[in-house]
Structure 1
């Protein structure tokens, strides 16, 4: 007897497969819930998708629209470590990839994935559009009229730390996934410069358009961080990001403000005192 093969197009029958739920990291701003990150948990493979700035600003691709920027976390197929891969896709077809190899989650330690000073979040691209099955994690927001949220995102195992060692300089939340735990340490820079900043580590060279790289590995896998080491890493990274962002616009500041900032080493307390003078650069 011959078999009868039947193929059904579920969409044509009005059936639509439900989207897999996401974990969305949000923040209330100006009376609206703004989305900063979204996490897709597929067990061994986790994707952290940034709600990216609209345009890339590094030459020679400045002013090219960003399609997507994401980090993926998965076990290495070749050795007993985890790989954190960053992918940036531009509208002109250019793709950048970086890779970080770490022993952190395998040894119940913390691994920093990235530090991000958010761009202005008032754009409609950051408005929350969630599925009913999604999990919403809401961060508190700075009450100042102009400030920049800054995040440090760590990954560890489910047996690893539930938080970075405490500090009065940042807040934190943790998210348990199927195979990993994410910890988000966050604070606020008391100014807005109309742009963001993203920093991450890598143990492999940048790969462009999936091309070959001359040396497949720059360093051995990172060892991961203890909770106390992660706190110190967070504080130093937040301060370095703040200083970098201010230095990038220092020449545009009034001379008195610029000299005061430079003399004080761009520290947080001096920035607070000079907030009115920085006001003309807040957008």
Structure 2
């Protein structure tokens, strides 16, 4: 839902450039807000998600209930490792009504490279709607830069000038219902990147923490050393709960074998 983030992530992949270099490119192209955190921090996209949730479910906008994570932690290594497994990394916003309440989350995720979202390149946006009767509907269009932004604003001005009066949310705002907010609980597989000390027993300690959290490992890969004392390790889990992942991410640094903070990304099969 943010063309700037999609430009940065796809440019990192196609050019093999680090996040910082592509961030500066996006600034030079005029893709970034005056406060870049609104874009790369996922805030702009979360505003859009809250509005779309309101339209989709007839609920009042609740931006404070959106779980937000930006793309700042995504490295060129993550981009390459995801590609090795047939995935691409996208800033993905998901809203779904569950028996527990309305889930709203915005975070970078791995999606299949051949999926509609995986094929979305450059400063483009995409919205995927899933309905009981209509199935999946995919909408895509330009989402970053002065041209697309000016076009969207001018179209609103033209509608006002023509006297078009449609309810913004498909119904009067007073009719919108307050939804109970719910944290994400739907199980999913997760990608984890760990920088470990290159010493005996390090992997065993990681496996123990994951086992204690009830997380089953699907794949584990060790790549070439980053230095004489550390080595990158990639773990892909079987489906597990966000609570289990949170427990593991909090416990892993206490093992004493991590060189840097772990990075985890949800895998969405959309």
Q: Give the TM-score band, short-chain normalised.
A: under 0.3
Name whichever structure is richer in strand by fraction: 1
TM-score normalized with structure 2 length = 0.23
TM-score normalized with structure 1 length = 0.23
